[in-house]
Amino acid sequence: MGLLGRMLARADEFRRAPRVVVYEPDNLGHGVAFGADLESALINLPAGRMSMDPGDPDQFARWLDAAGDAYVPRQVFGEYLVDEFWRAVGQARALGWTVDVVPETVAALGKGSANELLVRTPAGVRSFGQVVLGVGSGTTADPYRLSGASGYVVDPYPLAATLPGIAPRSHVLVIGTGLTAIDVVLGLLHLGHDGRITLASRTGILPGPRPQIMPLDPKHLTIDAVRRFESLGLGDVWELLKLELASAGFDADTEISWLLSSASATERLRYQLDRLDAAPIQSIFENLETPVPPMIRAALSADEMLKVAFDYKPYLKSIQCPMPPVSARKLLAVMDSGQLVVAPGITALRHRNGRFEAVARESVPAAEVVIDATRLSPRRTKGRARGLLDSLSAERLASWNSFDGLIVDPRTGRVVAAAPYRLFAYGEITAGELYYASSLPAVVRGANVVAAELVRHDNEVGS
C-alpha cells in the first residue's frame, strides 16, 4: 500500500503507465497489526506522525478529525490504511494504470527467462520484470517449545479473541517485554483482569514512553563527521554521541548511564516518565540525517556489530520502539500496586502438573496461563511466507546479514544477491534484529526509495 502511494506521488515522472499486481490473501491494506481488535491496543506514534504521505504529515489526523498528538486504537489506523489503499487504487486506475489485487498467497519466487521473475501461487505462475517484497513481521518464537500445552497462548493476536477466555484471577506470565507484551498487559487490564501479570524476558527492559522530541540540530553525528574517520569504531560513535549531548547542554555521562542503566523496570519507567520533555538521546537519534545510521553500521567491524546486537540492542530498541505515554502511566500504576511484575533473567519455562514454572533471576510464582509475546524475524517466520522465503534461498535470490536482515542496496531497495533480476524489498524484512525498519516512517522511506528506482528504470527503458 505504501509503495503504490509513493509511486503515485511520482506519477508524472513515469513514461509508461505502470502495471501493478498486489498479492495479499487477506488483511488487505491493514495487515495483521492494524486489524480489528481491542481499543486498548494503541498506535505507538501520535496521529500527526502516522500519515502515509510524507508530504502531507497531517493527512491521518485530518482523516481522523483529531489532534495531531492523539494516540488512537490501531484498528482505527487500519481503517485509514484500507481507505488509503483503495483511494490509491482508484487514483492509479483513473490515470490509466493497471492495478490488479490478487487474493492469493505467494508460495515461491523463481528465475525465469530474460531476467524475469516467476511468481508462484496456488492458482498458477506469472512472470514479472520487477518484484517488490513487502513481507510483514515474523510469527511468534515459542522459545521454550510449549506450543500445544494447556494454558499456552502461542500468539496473542487478535487480543479480542485470545484474552477474554482467561480467568480474571489467574496468574498470567507473558514471555517478552516488548511492545507486543505491552499490548497483552493493557488488553488484560482493559478486560478487567485482576490477577497477577508477570512479564519475563532475558533483560527485563521495557519500551520507554515516547517523549517530546526536541528540535536538535546534530553537529557531531553527521554524514561529514562519519566520513572523516578512516576506520570508525564503536568507541568513536560513543564519543560523537557524548559530544552531541554536551552540545545540547546535557551531562553526557548521566544520560548514557540511564540509557544503559541496570535499574529495575519500575525505576527506569518512572525516570523516563518524569523526563518526557527532556529526552536528548531519543531527540538526537530522531534528528539524525537519514544516511547516518546505515553509514555507521557499514563502518563497524563484524565483532563490534555483534557487540551492538547482543550488548546494546535491548537498550536501543527501548527508545527506537517506544510506547505511548498514556500506556506507560497505566503500566507504572499496576507495577506500583504489585499486580504487574517484570522478571528479568528468564532462562527456562516448563509446563508441569497443569501449571507453568519459570526459572529467572528472582523467584516467579507458577502461572496458570502463558502468552508468547516474542517475535521471530521475518526470515525465520513459521507463517504463510515460509515458502516464499525458502524459495529466495533455494533460487539464490537472497543474501542475509548476521541479524537475519535481507541485504538490499539502500540507494535503490534492490536485493543485492538477486542481480541482474530486479527484486526489491523494504520494511521489516530488510532490518533483521539490529535496527527498526517496520515503523511507519521507515516503511514509507523504504517505499519511497523503491518508487524512485522504479521511475528511474522506467525512464531508462522507455528512452
Which 3-state string (H, E, C) describes the chain?
CHHHHHHHCCHHHCCCCCEEEEECCCCCCCCCCCCCCCCCCECCCCHHHCCCCCCCCCHHHHHHCCCCCCCCEHHHHHHHHHHHHHHHHHHHHHCCCEEEEECCCCCEEEECHHHCEEEEECCEEEEECEEEECCCCCCCCCCCCCCCCCCEECCCCCHHHHCCCCCCCCCEEEECCCHHHHHHHHHHHHCCCCCCEEEEECCCCCCCECCCCCCCCCCCCCHHHHHHCCCCCHHHHHHHHHHHHHHCCCCHHHHHHHHCCCCCHHHHHHHHHHCCCCCHHHHHHHHCCCCHHHHHHHHCCHHHHHHHHHHHHHHHHHHHCCECHHHHHHHHHHHHHCCEEEEECCCEEEEECCEEEEECCCCCCCECEEEECCCCCHHHCCCCCHHHHHHHHHCCCCCECCCCCECECCCCCEEHHHCCCEEEECCHHHCCCCCCCCCHHHHHHHHHHHHHHHHHHHHHHHC
CB 343 within 8 A of CB 361: yes
Distance (Å) of CA 293 to CA 221, 283, 296 = 9, 14, 5
The pLDDT score that the predictor gives to residue 434 is: 41
**Amino acid in position 70:** A
Within the chain, which residue ranges are assigned CATH 3.50.50.60? 2-138+377-462, 152-207+324-372
Evaluate whether 5 touches 447 at the Cβ level (below 8 Å).
yes
Peptide bond into 420 cis (omega under 30): yes
Decide yes or no: CATH 2.60.40.10 for domain 2-138+377-462: no
The Cα–Cα gap between 463 and 461 comes to: 6
pLDDT in tens, 308-362: 878 888 888 898 889 999 999 999 999 999 999 999 999 999 999 999 999 999 9
Which residue did the predictor score with more confidence, 364 or 316?
364
Phi then psi for residue 20, to 5 deg, are -120, 130
- Least confident among 168-182, 357-371, 387-401: 387-401
Measured CA to CA, the distance from residue 349 to residue 361 in angstroms comes to 13
Determine how many CB atoms are found less than 10 A away from the CB of residue 452.
18
For 346, left (φ over 0), alpha (ψ -120 to 50), or beta?
A: beta
What's the pTM?
0.90
Average pLDDT for 434-463: 79
What is the arithmetic mean of pLDDT over 252-272?
93
Mean of per-residue pLDDT scores for the chain: 91
Nearest C-alpha neighbor of 310 from the set 397, 433, 423:
433
According to CATH, the superfamily of the domain at 152-207+324-372 is: FAD/NAD(P)-binding domain (3.50.50.60)
Q: 225-234, 237-246, 273-282, 288-297: which range is least confident on average?
A: 288-297
**How much is the pLDDT for 184?**
97
Range with the poorest average pLDDT among 38-47, 243-252, 400-409: 400-409
Grid cell for residue 370: 502463558
Half-sphere exposure of 78 toward its Cβ, with a 13 Å CA cutoff?
A: 17
Does position 438 have pLDDT exceeding 60, yes or no? no
Report the residue count for the chain.
463
What is the residue type of 291?
A: P
Mean pLDDT of 107-124: 94
CA distance 374 to 152: 13
